[in-house]
Amino acid sequence: MLYLTEPEQLGELLPNEPRYRTDQLRDWLYLTPVLSAQDMSNLPKPLRDHIEPDLWPFTVDIEQSADSGQTVKWLFRCTDGSPIESVLMGYANRTTLCISSQVGCAMGCTFCATGQFGFDRHLDAGEIVAQVTYANAYLAATPMPHSPERVTNIVFMGMGEPLANYAHTIESIRRMIDVMGMSARSITVSTVGFVPGMRKLINEPWPLNLAVSLHSTIPSERSKLVPINDRYPIDDVIDAAEAYYVAKGRRISLEWTLISGENDSDTEAVGLARIARKIKAHVNVIALNPTPLSTDRPPDHDHVRRFIGTLKREGANVTLRDTRGQDIDAACGQLRLRAQTRRPETDTKPNGAP
């Protein structure tokens, strides 16, 4: 229950220990995490033994690495069996962790493996933040040679809609910033356009990055890909994004998963560029990572380039995001899908073996 207790309340779990032990334990959990309680070198052995079974709120079901160890993907299992996915990506000057905020997702986006599963439950703040500390413990034991040895950037782009799990998402972010010392500017909350959450986020004290998953500028088309558009229409989403930008001075990212024949037309590119210019947003385009439960496919390379070219010509700032870790199913919800459909003999193969 360690991460499921607020860091300030850890003393309640150790009623017979002196105060400084609680401080030591909090440091082990949040500042210098280790994979095993046995490595908490300044704690007495009986306490380490006591802590060990409850150290992580999950076990590791699958760990896979790709891109010469610069990408690592985990499928964790919570104590109730719920799966959580996280992906660690090492770059030259940053180490980014993509984390999950819910088990499944209720938003039902048609191209998303998580959406295809439906919603199971919210993650607790401790289950969210423990994905970050676990990655830090992993990096301490297995550093990536060409990247920072700690998680420097967080993106809420794993399973779930973080703003639909508002309180736990915010408490996890509070711990990352106040307890772990991370910078709000290095944390990105990605939302499908959950307007009430976007509006609430304006009132939080931190200059977080906000990414808004747009995917179409044509309301009827967007509703097909992103059904929540019926409840929170695109115009309200853009208004909320602009209000966030004005209040925080943080440039919004507009996320666009490019799907062949669905949202890859010149008309869409022109419409997207117009919105990006209006709210001074940055556009991130990613080619669809196909999911087994849908026939959607990404456009071919030339078509992707053409879409990007139109965006640029229309005055948008745009980045084509890489599909890091595609060979280990590093798209939203896909490792879980594999875990449910895998053949037993593939379970134990390391390093992304098929």
Interface with ligand SF4 includes 84 (CB under 6 A)?
no
64-72, 177-185, 283-291, 307-315 -> range binding ligand SAH (CB under 6 A): 283-291
Residues 4 to 63 in contact with ligand SAH, rule: CB under 6 A: none
279 is in the binding site of which of ligand SF4, ligand SAH, none (Cβ under 5 to 8 A by kind)?
Answer: none
Closest CA to 258 of 39, 117, 111: 111
CA angle 144, 146, 149 (to 5 degrees): 50
- How far, CA to CA in Å, does 142 sit from each of 120, 138, 139, 149? 32, 6, 5, 9
Closest to ligand SF4 by CB, 132 vs 163, is 163
Of the candidate residues 67, 85, 161, 264, the single one contacting ligand SF4 (CB under 6 A): 161
Which residue is listed with tokens 């385009």?
285
Closest to ligand SAH by CB, 28 vs 194, is 194
The whole-angstrom distance between residue 59's C-alpha and the CA centroid of its chain comes to: 19
CA angle 339, 150, 255 (to 5 degrees): 60
Mark residues 199-228: x for contact with ligand SF4 by CB under 6 A, - for none: --------------x---------------
Q: What does the alpha-carbon distance between residue 97 and residue 135 come to, in Å, rounded to a whole number?
A: 8
**Beta carbons within 8 Å of 248's beta carbon, 6+ residues apart:** 202, 207, 208, 210
Closest CA to 128 of 163, 162, 164, 81: 162
Interface with ligand SAH includes 172 (CB under 6 A)?
no
Catalytically annotated residue among 98, 105, 109, 332: 332
Interface with ligand SF4 includes 107 (CB under 6 A)?
yes
Interface with ligand SF4 includes 105 (CB under 6 A)?
yes
Looking at the DSSP bridge assignments, the partners of residue 102 are 122
- Could you confirm whether 85 is annotated as catalytic? yes
Contact 210, 244 (CB under 8 A): yes
* 3 state DSSP class of 12: helix
Interface with ligand SAH includes 111 (CB under 6 A)?
yes
| Shortest distance in whole angstroms from residue 327 CB to ligand SAH | 14
Catalytically annotated residue among 78, 85, 221, 268: 85
| Shortest distance in whole angstroms from residue 257 CB to ligand SAH | 4
Closest to ligand SAH by CB, 64 vs 291, is 291
Contact 100, 84 (CB under 8 A): yes
**Beta carbons within 8 Å of 185's beta carbon, 6+ residues apart:** 207, 208, 209, 250
DSSP string, 213-237: E---SSHHHHHHH-GGGGTS-HHHH
Closest CA to 320 of 257, 274, 247: 257
289 is in the binding site of which of ligand SAH, ligand SF4, none (Cβ under 5 to 8 A by kind)?
Answer: ligand SAH
- Could you confirm whether 204 is annotated as catalytic? no
Closest to ligand SF4 by CB, 91 vs 119, is 119
Interface with ligand SF4 includes 163 (CB under 6 A)?
no
Interface with ligand SAH includes 286 (CB under 6 A)?
yes
64 is in the binding site of which of ligand SAH, ligand SF4, none (Cβ under 5 to 8 A by kind)?
Answer: none
Task: List the catalytic residues.
Answer: 85, 332
Q: Which residues bind ligand SAH (CB under 6 A)?
A: 111-112, 156-157, 161, 190-192, 213, 255, 257, 286, 288-289, 291, 331-332
Q: Which residues bind ligand SF4 (CB under 6 A)?
A: 105, 107-109, 112, 114-115, 160-161, 192, 213, 332
